[in-house]
Amino acid sequence: MRDLILGWALLVVMAGVARAGAAPLPPKVNLVPEFRRLALAPRAQGGRDTCSLFAITALADFECARNTPPPHVRFSEEFLIWAANEATGRSGDQAMFYEAISGLNAFGICAESLMTYKKTGDAARKPSPEALDDAARRKARWQVRWIRRWNVERPMDDAELLAIKASLADGHPVACGLRWPISPRSHELLEVPPPGEVHDGHSVVFVGYEDDPKQAGGGTFAFRNWEGAGWGNEGYGVMSYAYARAYANDAVGLRIGPAKSEVPVERFEAESLDVSAKGRCETTVQDMGGPMWSQGKQLLCQAEEGGFVEVAFQVSKAGRYRLRVLATAAPDYGIVRAAVDGRSFEGDFDLYSGRVSPAGSLELGRYSLEAGPHRLRFTTAGKNPASAGSSFGLDTVDLMPAGK
């Protein structure tokens, strides 16, 4: 118990200092009333293995409803199942979060009324032209905010748990995949069962938290489940911080931008760029064997610790841009640090994942760029304790609309 209290105290201290320039995290956050206000009642997945698709759909429902005027439509989990398969080249009901998000950005998501969820899966089921047109209004608008990429090698750390709380405090729910009790006894997961009593796994959405030193790990998360409004507390349950820390696999949030906000103004394929400098790093063009990577390839950078790669890109038109890089995460990838035209970007990017997958957007900030040549350098700055190496992979360099 002393260790639990000390751990909780550490999180409280971190909450007060980790968000530079922001107010300390409140001791309690609850987004359930907002879900109810937006008429987003929990749905039931039934006997299909679609919990991750339900989780990402719930994030999309919430983010879109909060950023658009009523009436709000509910989105189609069935469409997202199809979109994830199309975007990845796979088939079936299952999808990792990164696969579901790839489908969301590639095809969007349609109203539930245009492609209703079925009790059984069918690989031949396809959306209608009307559903495709409706979904297209919501594609290329989503930014993924990875808190924890898939990792079963180590428990959730303090920074990851704090980042989930910070997202909730900012009004954004978080999808989380976890190892789940083989025989759950209630909707309250407060104790931490031994590894032999959990399986991999289940996906839920965290919708709130409450700091409480009496609970294991120093508090609880409220979560949204997929057994309908008749389960638990009108479809919601409670999980201790200790359970989430012990058994979380991955955690991610979404943000929605204006129409076409995630369509590049100009795109550079990383594997086609000139490598202007490198050190302690070998570069090769790697075939990724799937549609989740632009042109199906990446620039593989097999780096030692402290190794670097610098690529040159040519801006066609002077302007102010949001600069992003699409990269790859993998079991032997490291932590990288970026610099644009010699200016270091504050913050590192941990590209470790237990599975080879798109890393999502590495957001490098907004820049006024003159027409002509520019340089982008990535340097390895260590590695995740679970990683087998310090390499990294670059898919594209994108100039995005600067926005606000």
Assign a CATH topology to domain 266-401: Jelly Rolls (2.60.120)
Strands 236-240 and 188-189: parallel
Burial class (CB in 10 A: 0-12, 13-18, 19+), 390: buried
DSSP structure string for 231-256 = STBTTEEEEEHHHHHHHEEEEEEEEE
- Spatial contact of 108 and 139, defined as CB atoms under 8 Å apart: yes
- For residue 338, what are the contacts with CB-CB under 8 A and spacing of at least 6? 325, 344, 345, 349, 362, 364, 376, 377, 378, 379
Q: How many CB atoms lie within 10 A of CB 27?
A: 12
- What confidence score (pLDDT) does residue 70 get? 87
Residue type, 376: L
DSSP structure string for 12-43 = HHHHHHSSTTSPPPPSEEE-HHHHHHTT----
Instruction: Identify the three-state secondary structure at position 137.
Output: coil
Q: Which residues of the chain have pLDDT under 70?
A: 1-22, 404
- What confidence score (pLDDT) does residue 156 get? 98
What angle in degrees, to the nearest 10, is found between the helix axes of 51-66 and 97-107? 50
- What confidence score (pLDDT) does residue 22 get? 67
Q: What proportion of the chain, given as a percentage, has pLDDT over 70?
A: 94
Please write the tens of the pLDDT for every residue from 143-192: 999 999 999 999 999 999 999 999 999 999 999 999 999 998 899 999 99
CATH of 2-256, one of 2.40.30.10, 3.90.70.10, 3.30.210.10, 3.90.280.10: 3.90.70.10
Q: Radius of gyration (Cα) for the chain, nearest Å?
A: 21
Give the CA angle between residues 60, 61, 62 to the nearest 5°. 90
- What confidence score (pLDDT) does residue 15 get? 40
How many distinct helices (H) and strands (E) make up the chain? 8, 17
Mean pLDDT of the chain: 94
Which residue in 77, 73, 66 sits closest to 34, CA to CA? 66
Where are the chain's structural domains?
A: 2-256, 266-401
